[in-house]
A and B are shown apart, each in its own frame.
Chain A
Amino acid sequence: NAGVMQNPRHLVRRRGQEARLRCSPMKGHSHVYWYRQLPEEGLKFMVYLQKENIIDESGMPKERFSAEFPKEGPSILRIQQVVRGDSAAYFCASSPFASGSLNTGELFFGEGSRLTVL
């Protein structure tokens, strides 16, 4: 039973290019979360999605960042016109339950995508 799959594991981009990070949740999970981890820092929430819906994007920068979770296929975090400050590890997590439902809120994490902007 595959866990949360993220790709690419490592991505190098030059300033101004676009970065696309993909996340396939665990089988049976329809809720996806994206977190960013800056070097030597903790995890910062970015966005929470269900299939075809953005539920909470309060942690997402207003410009250059977007996320989607289509009916078919993986969730995608897209960063346009990358800058050096975007260099970080981006983690995807999935859950079988909705945030706010009667559950303990446990998340299952992927191994992360490490973005380096030159």
Chain B
Amino acid sequence: GNSVTQMEGPVTLSEEAFLTINCTYTATGYPSLFWYVQYPGEGLQLLLKATKADDKGSNKGFEATYRKETTSFHLEKGSVQVSDSAVYFCALYSSASKIIFGSGTRLSIRP
């Protein structure tokens, strides 16, 4: 079946550091891929998405590229801020299933 595996947290970085959160997937067909973000006490919000191979999703300085050859969708940001502290979820959707989420990666940014 379809599944998503993402980097375990927590991840702690200093402000302005480079961020990578790894995500790999297993799916039949050609899924759409997402990163959602959950700030403390809130629900999930869509951060970015990519719907086909080699697409790059980007938003708020975050980027992720849909790599079919490595079945990956790693999240990156060149310079993180304290306000980026949150839990980040990688997810996939294919026409054969509901949206499936990874286990989440908690990110903490030190001033």
Query: B-contacting residues of A (Cβ < 8 Å)?
Result: 4, 6, 33, 35, 41-43, 45, 48, 56, 91, 93, 99-101, 104-112
Check if A91 sits within 8 Å of B51, measured CB to CB.
no
Check if B49 sits within 8 Å of A43, measured CB to CB.
no
Query: A-contacting residues of B (Cβ < 8 Å)?
Result: 32, 34, 36, 41-46, 49, 51, 89, 93, 95-104
In the bound complex, residues from chain A placing their C-beta under 8 Å from that of B43 are 4, 6, 91, 93, 109-112
In the bound complex, residues from chain B placing their C-beta under 8 Å from that of A107 are 44, 46, 99
Check if A45 sits within 8 Å of B104, measured CB to CB.
no
Majority DSSP secondary structure for residues of A touching B: loop
For the complex of A and B, list the 7 residue pairs with the smallest distance between their C-beta atoms, beginning with the closest. Answer: A105-B93, A42-B103, A109-B43, A43-B101, A109-B44, A111-B43, A42-B104
Task: Kindly identify which residue among A43, A45, A99, A101 contacts B44, using a CB–CB cutoff of 8 Å.
Answer: A43
- Roughly how many angstroms separate A108 CA and B34 CA in the complex, as a whole number? 13
- Roughly how many angstroms separate A5 CA and B32 CA in the complex, as a whole number? 26
In the bound complex, residues from chain B placing their C-beta under 8 Å from that of A42 are 89, 101-104
From A59, which residue of chain B is reached at the shortest CB distance?
Answer: B98
